[in-house]
């Protein structure tokens, strides 16, 4: 299984600002995923990030709001742009392991005031 | 879009009682996976079911995949306080093109009263 770290673990931000979340994996992986989990809710996939190509966004999520970088096979960033209180959530990155199972990072807990 | 429906949303049990959560998909799944998220934690993979009618056990946990590969269940026998958390099923659709892409159910929040 992969070991995944995320930075920051939590943050409190002002509306209108942007936050970049980093995800680091201890091994090279092809696919990385970014999820949002609102309080008490399920996981909603934001986008799939492949190294060397543009991220693929799910319905309801756009690149201007959630730009993603994937510069190499062990790292990715997700930026939450022009934040509003509705963006308060837990943001999780994950990687696909063998048999398409997923391993999650510890998450970034974001509160937007 | 494709969805996985999971019930119940909440379940409160006394320690020692059994617990079951169910997932349903309107279309055939390639596989279904189960994850557990402890309070304040992140989802952790429990198991994957691939074959029609498959049953797998992990100690007090029993996982089933329906014959039509459209539904699944997780049953915990004699719950313990360590079982507290949210249990998610996650479906992978047959014919899906993106490796590893899953759709998560709504989750069942389990509380266990000692």
Give B44's contacts (C-beta < 8 A, 6+ positions apart): A104, B35, B36, B37, B38
Q: Are B81 and A81 in contact (CB under 8 A)?
A: no
Bridge partner list, B29: B93
B92, B99, B107: residue with CB nearest A42 = B107
Q: In chain A, what residues touch B105 (CB-CB under 8 Å)?
A: 42
> What are the Cα distances from residue A8, in Å, to A5, A23, B8, B52?
9, 9, 33, 42
Number of neighbouring beta carbons within 10 Å of residue B11: 18
pLDDT tens track, chain A, 113 positions: 789 999 999 999 999 999 999 999 999 998 899 999 998 899 999 999 988 888 999 999 999 999 999 999 999 999 999 999 999 999 999 998 777 789 999 999 999 99
């Amino acid at each position: 299984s992969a070991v995944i770290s995320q930075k920051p673990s939590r943050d409190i931000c002002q509306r209108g600002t942007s936050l970049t979340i980093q995800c680091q994996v201890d091994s090279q992986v092809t696919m990385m995923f970014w999820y949002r989990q609102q309080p008490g809710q399920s996981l909603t996939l934001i986008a799939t990030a492949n190294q060397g190509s543009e991220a693929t966004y799910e319905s309801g999520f756009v690149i201007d709001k959630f730009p993603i970088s994937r510069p190499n096979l062990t790292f990715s960033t997700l930026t939450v742009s022009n934040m509003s209180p509705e963006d308060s959530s837990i943001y999780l990155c994950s990687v696909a392991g063998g048999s398409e199972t997923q391993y999650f990072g510890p998450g970034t807990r974001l509160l937007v005031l | 879009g494709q969805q996985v429906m999971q019930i119940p949303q909440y379940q409160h049990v006394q320690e020692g009682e059994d617990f079951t959560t169910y997932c349903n998909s309107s279309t055939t799944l390639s596989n279904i996976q189960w994850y557990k998220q402890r309070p304040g934690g992140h989802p952790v993979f429990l198991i994957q079911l691939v074959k029609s009618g498959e049953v797998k056990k992990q100690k007090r946990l029993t996982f089933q995949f329906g014959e039509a590969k459209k539904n699944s269940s997780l049953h915990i026998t004699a719950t313990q306080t360590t079982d507290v958390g949210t249990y998610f099923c996650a479906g992978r659709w047959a014919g899906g093109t993106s490796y590893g892409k899953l759709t998560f159910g709504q989750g069942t929040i389990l509380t266990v009263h000692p």
